[in-house]
């Protein structure tokens, strides 16, 4: 099988034409980890957070948000956490522990898994579907979860669609180049839609 390779200028022209027709906005590939988006994501049922209390292993560990949006935590009991960001949860725990339990507690909360937030994978993968978002999830990670590419996948032109300030932004991600070390990995954020097109023979 012979693959046809198009010059980068030609590909850009095609994307601009598609953009003009569909109203979508295409963005350049950005390999930067979206830590700000993850750290500001509101917690929901099924989410797992990693709580760290400085110099106190008994109060540190992984905790999951219940289907009712609550979390059981040592000393403080059942807490309503749905809708809180990780930083807000850390402040809630800090205040609770400072109220009669610890002196000046230092608490950090990091997202370990966002079960309530999803990544959608469509197109030419073995197992298309919806996958729970995990902190630091990359395009390589989610393609692997989806069983890898099919034989007819156009793996160097994967399209990631995300909503930015109310507008859909589509980015063409060169997954084959990433696998070969020719491009930086692409980090996903909750609610991204990953579409793997069919190869152009």
Sketch the domain layout of the chain as residue ranges. 8-37+115-196, 41-113
pLDDT at 13: 36
Q: Report the DSSP beta bridge partners of residue 147.
A: none
Tally of CB atoms within 10 A around 97: 22
> In this structure, what token pair is assigned to residue 103?
């002196």
| pLDDT tens string 106-154 | 999 998 888 888 999 999 999 999 998 877 889 999 999 999 999 999 9
Q: What class, spelled out in words, does domain 41-113 have in CATH? A: alpha beta
Per-residue pLDDT at 21 exceeds 50: no
> In this structure, what token pair is assigned to residue 59?
């109060």
CB 52 within 8 A of CB 108: yes
Coil/strand/helix, residue 153: strand
pLDDT at 6: 36
More confident residue, 32 or 119: 119
> In this structure, what token pair is assigned to residue 60?
């540190």
pLDDT at 7: 38
pLDDT at 147: 97
- Average of per-residue pLDDT values in the chain: 84
With 0-12 CB in 10 A as exposed, 13-18 as middle and 19+ as buried, what is 127? Answer: exposed
| pLDDT tens string 159-176 | 999 988 889 999 999 999
**3.30.1490.20, 1.10.1040.10, 3.40.190.10, 3.10.560.10: which CATH number matches 8-37+115-196?**
3.10.560.10
Per-residue pLDDT at 15 exceeds 50: no
Q: What's the CA dihedral at 32, 37, 39, 43 to 10 degrees?
A: -140
Closest C-alpha among 147, 113, 112, 163 to residue 133:
113
């Amino acid at each position: 099988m012979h693959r046809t390779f198009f010059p980068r200028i030609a590909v850009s022209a095609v994307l601009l034409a598609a953009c003009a027709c569909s109203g979508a906005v295409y963005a350049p590939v950005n390999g930067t980890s979206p830590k700000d988006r993850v750290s500001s994501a509101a917690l929901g049922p099924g989410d797992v957070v990693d709580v760290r209390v400085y110099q106190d292993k008994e109060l540190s560990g992984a905790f999951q948000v219940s289907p009712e949006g609550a979390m059981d935590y040592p000393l403080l009991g059942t807490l309503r956490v749905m809708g809180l960001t990780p930083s807000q949860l850390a402040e809630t725990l800090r205040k609770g522990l400072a109220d009669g339990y610890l002196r000046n507690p230092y608490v950090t909360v990091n997202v370990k898994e966002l079960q309530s937030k999803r990544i959608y994978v469509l197109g030419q993968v073995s197992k298309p579907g919806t996958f729970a978002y995990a902190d630091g999830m990359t395009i390589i990670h989610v393609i692997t979860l989806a069983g890898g590419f099919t034989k007819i996948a156009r793996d160097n032109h994967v399209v990631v669609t995300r909503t930015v300030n109310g507008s859909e932004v589509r980015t063409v991600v060169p997954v084959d180049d990433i696998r070969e070390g020719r491009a930086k990995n692409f980090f996903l954020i909750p609610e991204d839609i990953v579409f793997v097109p069919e190869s152009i023979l």
